């Protein structure tokens, strides 16, 4: 039983690393990034702090909000902290390694965008398959959906839309244009969920 649980956490960690890599590809495409990563990316363009640092800060804030909504803090919630540290560090590492396609041919950027969606969705599918913990962003949405009595998917759409809109406002204020929030943001929002479902079917028979 213990070995099985360790295996599940290992699969979750692998999924978090892969998901972070996918986000980096999305971002380096120069066509926008995922809705939940938009605000950290835009803020990283304005200040010396990295996208990973802002990702960590926002996720810790979401973790706090989740704890307030649930009126408790369990060991499973505490496990979100090292998971977030790993996730955020991997985003910065991948961003440092993957060259940017910003300002280059649109087709090259689109290839990066598609690759990012495929990679990110696979990482999320592994996290779902592990079925141990969630990253704070999704965990907060789950807690909020239960509090409001609404479906997770509907609350997730509202949550992502709010973050994307906030990123757009900050980008317009700072740069006068939509840096970090473009067609890639919309495509990833529409495609990643469907890709996760497809990967989920492929992973369905895998026993961990």
Nearest-5° Cα angle at 5, 120 to 11: 20
- HEC string for 52-73: HHHHHHHHHHHHHHHHHHHCCC
Q: Three-class SS of residue 26?
A: helix
Which burial class, exposed, middle or buried, applies to 98 when counting CB atoms under 10 A from its CB (0-12, 13-18, 19+)? Answer: middle
Nearest to 95 by CA among 43, 29, 160, 179: 29
- pLDDT tens for the 208 residues of the chain, in order: 777 888 899 999 999 999 999 999 999 999 988 888 999 999 999 999 999 999 999 999 999 999 998 888 888 889 999 999 999 999 999 999 999 988 888 899 999 999 999 999 999 989 888 888 889 988 898 888 888 988 877 888 888 888 888 999 999 998 888 887 888 888 888 888 888 888 888 887 777 6
Q: For position 157, what pLDDT does the model report?
A: 81
Distance CA 88, CA 51 (A): 8
Q: Contact at 8 Å (CB) between 51 and 41? A: yes
């Amino acid at each position: 039983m213990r070995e099985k649980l360790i295996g599940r956490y290992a699969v979750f960690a692998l999924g978090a690393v892969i998901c972070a890599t996918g986000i980096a590809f999305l971002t380096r495409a120069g066509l926008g990034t995922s809705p939940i990563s938009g605000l950290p990316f835009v803020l990283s363009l304005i200040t010396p702090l990295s996208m990973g640092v802002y990702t960590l800060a926002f996720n810790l804030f979401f973790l706090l909000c989740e704890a307030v909504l649930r009126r408790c803090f369990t060991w499973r919630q505490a496990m979100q902290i090292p998971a977030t540290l790993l996730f955020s560090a991997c985003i910065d590492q991948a961003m440092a390694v993957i060259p940017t396609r910003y300002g280059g041919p649109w087709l090259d950027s689109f290839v990066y965008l598609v690759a990012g969606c495929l990679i990110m969705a696979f990482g999320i599918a592994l996290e779902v398959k592990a079925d141990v913990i969630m990253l704070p962003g999704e965990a907060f949405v789950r807690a909020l959906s239960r509090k409001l009595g609404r479906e997770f998917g509907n609350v997730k759409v509202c949550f992502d839309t709010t973050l994307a809109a906030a990123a757009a406002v900050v980008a317009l204020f700072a740069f006068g244009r939509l840096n970090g929030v473009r067609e890639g943001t919309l495509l990833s929002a529409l495609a990643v969920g469907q890709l996760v479902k497809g990967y989920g079917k492929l992973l369905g028979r895998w026993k961990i």
